[in-house]
Amino acid sequence: MDDPLSTNTQAEALAILQAMKYLEATQRDKILIETDSLLLRNIVEKVWEVPWQIVTIVKEIWRIMKGKIVVVSHIFREGNKLEDHLANVALDEGEILANNFKELDIQGRRLLNEDKLKEPYSRLHF
């Protein structure tokens, strides 16, 4: 069985690193990163220790963050449906590229439209 830290957490860390590289490449100095991984949020914000499996990735994230305004916000998975969908498509089909709404697949367009409606997702706890 795969170690979840070396799969999910590593993938999440790489996604944040890609966002940071985009920030650096476009010479922007402000970014809001929303992640459904509380673990990664707390690691990037230096609240929790960095697991050895992702030390190199996190150090690169921190390097790019220096001198920039970076907010890492934890959101519930329900608020991350489009990103989750795109990650699953990429896992199934390989690299994907969509530069605009029309280039998204049907499911991606539906999820984006639902997000535009700003309808809250319900989380029920019993």
Per the CB < 8 A criterion, the answer to whether 19 and 57 are in contact is no
Q: Residue written as tokens 């990037």?
A: 44
Domains of the chain are 4-75 (3.30.420.10), 79-116 (no CATH)
Of residues 27 and 2, which shows the higher confidence score? 27
Q: What is the pLDDT of residue 82?
A: 76
Q: What mean pLDDT comes out for the span 103-110?
A: 88
Q: What is the pLDDT of residue 48?
A: 93
Q: What is the pLDDT of residue 125?
A: 47
Q: What is the pLDDT of residue 77?
A: 66
Of residues 108 and 76, which shows the higher confidence score? 108
Tokens read off for 37: 């991984």
| Burial of 99: CB neighbours in 10 Å, binned 0-12, 13-18, 19+ | exposed
For 45-90, what is each residue's pLDDT tens digit? Answer: 999 999 988 999 999 999 999 999 999 988 776 666 777 777 777 7
Q: Residue written as tokens 């998204």?
A: 104
Q: What is the pLDDT of residue 118?
A: 62
Question: What pTM did the predictor assign?
Answer: 0.65
Per the CB < 8 A criterion, the answer to whether 42 and 68 are in contact is no
In sign, the C-alpha dihedral spanning 66, 70, 76, 78 is negative
Of residues 126 and 65, which shows the higher confidence score? 65
Share of the chain above pLDDT 90, in %: 25
Of residues 102 and 122, which shows the higher confidence score? 102
